[in-house]
Structure 1
Amino acid sequence: MMDRRTLLKRSLALAAFYGLPAAPLLAATRDMPEIADGEPSEFSFEWLQRLAKEMANSSYQNNVRELPSTLANMTPQDYNAIGYDPGHSLWHGLDGELDVQFFHVGMGFNQPVRMYALDPDSHQAREIHFDPEIFRYDDADVDVAQLEGEDTLGFAGFRVFKAPSLTERDIVSFLGASYFRAVDDTYQYGISARGLAVNTFAESEDEEFPTYTRFWLETPEPDSTTFTAYALLDSPKVAGAYRFVIHCEAERVVMEIDKHLYPREAIEQLGIAPMTSMFSCGTHQRRMCDTIHPQIHDSDRLTMWRGNGEWVCRPLNNPPKLQYNSFADDAPKGFGLLQTERDFDAYEDVIGNYHERPSLWVEPRNDWGKGEIQMMEIPTTGETMDNVVAFWKPSKAVEPGDSLNFTYRLYWSAQAPVTTDLARIRATRSGMGDFTEGWAPGEHYPEEWARRFAVDYVGGDILRIAKNGPPIMAQLDVSRGKTSDIQIFQVEEFEGIRVIFDWYPTEDSVDPIDMRMVLEGDGDALSETWLYQYFPPPPEQREHPPHPLDA
């Protein structure tokens, strides 16, 4: 076991190597938390950037370690049963608005993360070493004797609590690789973010999962709901220095992120501001909704505010096979995976609480240049697997020796922080086509197989325009097949309009059909752009159910 004297010698040597002045041994720190038992060392974000850059110039050192058997062989139930002693929370002594607890290593969380408490006045940091005394194992099957003397185990991550629920419900969580999540005022987790995506669906290389290996948590003012965290990211292909300024507001969490990336190797696919979510079924895709729940999803759409000012809505799918899409852009204004349906009746789920899942919106704060928003949708048979991934991929090739900087904000809230003044997509629906609306399944039963789509629009004064003019035209394009019977209805119930059309196949292919629609009046755009991808069934399944009277 490494003693404190050895640890101090190594920290002094590291400081000298990276050009930092060694912290005086007796330097005072203000309000340093009691559990921060390491020796003091100087810290700055500039130093962290130099450290990451130097690491990128050296070979990758994997710090995954073999855990004691009592931790390595844990069941998820036992892992979740490990408690935390609130008296050892990081900012417990502040009696303030925020506090932090740490996640235990165990199961697949076998890459120790080192934690440091950071004093913002003296710029000194002290490491927080693993100690079984800060955890509670009463309800977990853990042999605590195996953990004695294991102060180098580190932690798996951390989570943040906000008053008045300083020990009950966390609002921010960093756990596993570079994954993190946050909630809004519902305290309901859902969508996840990552610090970086590397070759998530690259053609020639396997995906890599960069990991946050160290965190420095800056002590906030007692009455503040904002705190700053710094992180060191590492992987075989890239190292990075991160600063998170996290605002735990009343109705949402806002993160200001400044990240500096230093590639060790060329990277085929670099994903900036990646997010992962789940879409099993919804209003437009019902094949996986054979449950008591009308809809099951953490997010229902990808929304993009393009650099040219265009707003785009792309409803999510649970495709029959893995599907990849990219949307080229230059200096995007924002994008996100949103959960726009907020009514309990839409889900009827008393466990998942999908109506309370937060949306996640990315707001670039510096010029991201040319690139594309990339999205992958993976088939899933249930609601326990995140099957949607989206991020920004720069066009410029990523080479070793590069220095990349991206700053952006993440908004975790019920709705995106910005919206268009044009009409917005309320919902997308689909079902049996080739009949007069209002007559199925009576005498006017469909004769030809077709798929009907209904797209609802609200906002942007669209209902007034529908009543008073100019005439609304639906500009619809499809990549294959033909469309007919485009109809526009005024719907007082949701104060908007509904556009209905039928799509008919003209070939046997089951490749996805790309659809694009925008509402126009006198040549001006009245709505955001609707993009949709439909997966036609094979020819042998292109038959409507028989008429009930003929069955």
Structure 2
Amino acid sequence: MTDGFVGKVRGAGLRRRDFAAALGAGAVAFGLPGPAHAQANTLGELIRTSLGEGQSFSWAALTDLARTISKRPFAAPPTDLPEPFANLNYERYVAIRSLPGGRIWEGENRGFVAEPLPRGFVFTTRVGLFTVEDGQVRRVAFDKSRFDFGELPVKSDTADPGFSGFRLLSTSSETPWEFALVQGATFFRAAGRGQPFGIIARALTLKPGEPKGEEFPAFRAFWLERPAAGTNALVVNGLIDSESVTGAVRMTMRPGDTTLVDVETTLFPRVNLDHVGLGGSGASFLFGPNVRGTMDDIRPGAYEAAGLSILNGQGEWVWRPLNNPDTLQISAFLDDNPRGFGLLQRDRDFAAFQDDVLRYERRPSLWIEPIGEWGPGAVQLIEIPSDSEINKNILAYWRPKAPLPAGQEASFAYRQFWTWTPPARPNLAQVVATRSGRAAARRRRFAVEFQGDGLAEVPPDLKPVLSSQPGAIHNVRVWTYPERKAVRVTFELDFGTDTACEMRLLLQSGTQPVSETWLYRWTP
């Protein structure tokens, strides 16, 4: 496992605003330049004639459609909105709700309902919305009589705004609960039972953190397969399009205490793609025990995920605590056929946050397991400076080493676990706390705590294996707490004149690891 320092860019020029994150809407706005409305209709015509009303649906037909679109010039979706939906503020937008009986499959006792979401606020891009019933496509038309528009002056002759996405609810229990939200670019959220939304997943990530700017592919249409009664699986099919690539995505969702989402993706690049992100996810990290910066806050922490966990192809478990740096940071963890990775929320105690509203301790972890072999590449982590917890300033994804050539298709599959505790856990002590504070001049003090059943009786030959490149380590001490199955390692980093130090720490008994590997990048 290598923590390769790919680059550091001065300033906070790259910012992602998730305006709705702390407010609960759950998506990010995006804008794509493009031709006029008439040109964009070409894609709409292809969808209607290939997989529109009355057509037979299949995964093969959807991939064929994506293949056909990839051979045509890209046309950006229109973002024009009729009044009064144009220029909506957040409060007026979230006040729009479906009326009783207005949801898809409502009253059919199929275990699921889908609630279409109109365009408005930052969600200006129209998506086609269809259902699949007995193999046949049915268009979901916008019906104003199915919505309560709150204070908006919507009349019978008001133009239909169209849809921007949808939310999914499980109705298999006495109390329906929302387990997924799909809206904006290729973003979607899910959660386990009893969890509020937090991390945002991406069906496709293109060129994040690059000087020329990130490219945001977008869902252009969805086909929701009507679930069979008595099952707990809902299949969502989507068509992706962007300047560089088209694609077909199939998501099989199974809500529960852990919500599972199996994602199958087939891509058709228009150009050579040398920076593609698979299994992407974003989270907010404002401050915590390892970094407070200048935050003047009554809470001890504010973050949706505490760290990045990796099970690499060699079977090594790695934990990388997240950071809110002063400058953009990009890290690459080189690997071959990774077994799993994800942004995890390990801090499940209310005392870690003391936030009565946002309840960060309840936010889902997102663990991703590749299906099949992904080959060589890297788990890439991007940490963006942020002064607000509504920013999704953390991004993690798998970046294949080999570019995806133009004109050739590529398929990938993986399983997501939206959960309280990931199913794959190391049979080793885990990092439960990383703390950092000022020491002597040009030094930084750290305390890293490990916890696990194997530390109830501390091995007599237990030792920390600790290094830093560059920088020097001093005053290493090991503190054992068998009553709480914990070992704490404290040390000082002498960073001298260096502006970035990569540290590595694990506990060993003899030559065998007793803990997962702690990796951390310190920057001033």
Interval containing the TM-score (normalised by the shorter chain):
0.7 to 0.9
1:130 to 135, 142, 167: 142
1:280 to 266, 274, 286: 286
Aligned partners of 2:47, 2:516: CA distance in 1, in Å? 57
2:228 to 203, 207, 221: 221
Q: Displacement of 1:460 after TM fit?
A: 5.2
Who is 1:534 aligned against?
522
- Tell which deviates more after alignment, 496-505 or 362-371: 496-505
Aligned partners of 2:517, 2:439: CA distance in 1, in Å? 23
Unaligned runs of 5+ in 2: 1-43
Unaligned runs of 5+ in 1: 1-8, 21-37, 435-447, 537-551
2:471 to 476, 481, 496: 481
* 8 Å CA contact retained: 1:70, 1:146: no
2:168 to 138, 142, 160: 160
Q: Displacement of 1:286 after TM fit?
A: 2.1
* 8 Å CA contact retained: 2:495, 2:501: no
TM-score normalised by structure 2 residue count:
0.88
Q: Displacement of 1:63 after TM fit?
A: 2.1
2:452 to 459, 464, 485: 459
Aligned partners of 1:505, 1:211: CA distance in 2, in Å? 43
1:141 to 152, 156, 161: 152
* 8 Å CA contact retained: 2:193, 2:255: no
1:83 to 78, 97, 107: 97
Q: Displacement of 1:215 after TM fit?
A: 0.8
**Which AA in structure 2 matches 1:126?**
R
* 8 Å CA contact retained: 2:305, 2:365: yes
Q: Displacement of 1:479 after TM fit?
A: 1.4
Question: What is the 5 A alignment of 1:5-154?
Answer: 14-15=49-50, 39-119=53-133, 122-137=134-149, 139-145=150-156, 147-148=158-159, 150=160, 153-154=161-162
**Which AA in structure 1 matches 2:428?**
L
- Tell which deviates more after alignment, 212-221 or 347-356: 212-221
Going from structure 1 to structure 2, the CA distance change for 1:310 and 1:460 (only over 3 Å counts) comes to farther
Going from structure 1 to structure 2, the CA distance change for 1:140 and 1:264 (only over 3 Å counts) comes to farther
Q: Displacement of 1:222 after TM fit?
A: 2.8
Aligned partners of 1:111, 1:480: CA distance in 2, in Å? 47
Aligned partners of 2:188, 2:238: CA distance in 1, in Å? 12
Who is 2:216 aligned against?
209
* 8 Å CA contact retained: 2:195, 2:364: no
Residue 321 in structure 1 maps to residue 327 in structure 2:
yes
Aligned partners of 2:405, 2:153: CA distance in 1, in Å? 45
Residue 260 in structure 1 maps to residue 274 in structure 2:
no
Q: Displacement of 1:428 after TM fit?
A: 0.7
Who is 2:201 aligned against?
193
Q: Work out the number of aligned pairs and report it.
A: 482
* 8 Å CA contact retained: 2:312, 2:339: yes
Going from structure 1 to structure 2, the CA distance change for 1:500 and 1:13 (only over 3 Å counts) comes to closer
1:263-290 Cα distance to aligned partner (Å, 9 max, x none):
0112231111110001111111122542
Residue 356 in structure 1 maps to residue 350 in structure 2:
no
Aligned partners of 2:426, 2:246: CA distance in 1, in Å? 37
Aligned partners of 1:140, 1:396: CA distance in 2, in Å? 52
Aligned partners of 1:218, 1:12: CA distance in 2, in Å? 17
**Which AA in structure 1 matches 2:471?**
G
- Tell which deviates more after alignment, 361-370 or 91-100: 91-100
Aligned partners of 1:296, 1:39: CA distance in 2, in Å? 47
Aligned partners of 1:473, 1:406: CA distance in 2, in Å? 41
* 8 Å CA contact retained: 1:279, 1:297: yes
What SS does the corresponding residue of 2:85 show, helix, strand or coil? helix
* 8 Å CA contact retained: 2:288, 2:302: yes
- Tell which deviates more after alignment, 183-192 or 349-358: 183-192
Question: What is the 5 A alignment of 1:118-517?
Answer: 118-119=132-133, 122-137=134-149, 139-145=150-156, 147-148=158-159, 150=160, 153-163=161-171, 169-203=177-211, 205-249=212-256, 251-433=257-439, 450-459=443-452, 461-464=454-457, 466=458, 469-492=459-482, 494-507=484-497, 509=498, 511-517=499-505
Aligned partners of 1:493, 1:290: CA distance in 2, in Å? 35
Aligned partners of 1:387, 1:12: CA distance in 2, in Å? 35
**Which AA in structure 2 matches 1:476?**
L
CA RMSD of aligned residues (A): 2.1
**Which AA in structure 2 matches 1:115?**
L
* 8 Å CA contact retained: 1:202, 1:269: no
* 8 Å CA contact retained: 1:363, 1:408: yes
**Which AA in structure 1 matches 2:451?**
V
1:328-353 Cα distance to aligned partner (Å, 9 max, x none):
11000000000000000111100110
1:421-476 Cα distance to aligned partner (Å, 9 max, x none):
12211111122436xxxxxxxxxxxxx56321111111251332x2xx34111111
1:242-282 Cα distance to aligned partner (Å, 9 max, x none):
11110012x12100111100001122311111100011111
* 8 Å CA contact retained: 2:442, 2:496: no
Q: Displacement of 1:505 after TM fit?
A: 3.1
Aligned partners of 1:288, 1:42: CA distance in 2, in Å? 58
Aligned partners of 2:268, 2:375: CA distance in 1, in Å? 18
Who is 1:520 aligned against?
508
Aligned partners of 1:326, 1:55: CA distance in 2, in Å? 33
- Tell which deviates more after alignment, 361-370 or 425-434: 425-434
* 8 Å CA contact retained: 1:68, 1:146: no
Larger radius of gyration: 1
Higher relative contact order (CA 8 A, sep 6+): 2
Aligned partners of 2:314, 2:425: CA distance in 1, in Å? 15
**Which AA in structure 2 matches 1:14?**
T
**Which AA in structure 2 matches 1:420?**
P
Aligned partners of 2:207, 2:152: CA distance in 1, in Å? 38
**Which AA in structure 2 matches 1:455?**
V
Q: Displacement of 1:519 after TM fit?
A: 1.3
Aligned partners of 2:386, 2:428: CA distance in 1, in Å? 34
Aligned partners of 2:375, 2:154: CA distance in 1, in Å? 53
Q: Displacement of 1:82 after TM fit?
A: 0.8
Runs of 4+ in 1 over 4 A off after TM superposition: 9-13, 164-169
1:16-74 Cα distance to aligned partner (Å, 9 max, x none):
xxxx9xxxxxxxxxxxxxxxxx8421010001011101111111122223111311111
Going from structure 1 to structure 2, the CA distance change for 1:288 and 1:306 (only over 3 Å counts) comes to farther
**Which AA in structure 1 matches 2:209?**
F
Aligned partners of 1:226, 1:79: CA distance in 2, in Å? 30
Query: Percent identity among equivalent residues?
Result: 32
* 8 Å CA contact retained: 1:79, 1:140: no
Q: Displacement of 1:177 after TM fit?
A: 0.8
- Tell which deviates more after alignment, 217-226 or 47-56: 217-226
What SS does the corresponding residue of 2:342 show, helix, strand or coil? strand
What SS does the corresponding residue of 2:214 show, helix, strand or coil? coil
What SS does the corresponding residue of 1:242 show, helix, strand or coil? strand
Going from structure 1 to structure 2, the CA distance change for 1:199 and 1:449 (only over 3 Å counts) comes to closer
Aligned partners of 2:80, 2:120: CA distance in 1, in Å? 10
What SS does the corresponding residue of 1:420 show, helix, strand or coil? coil
- Tell which deviates more after alignment, 336-345 or 94-103: 94-103
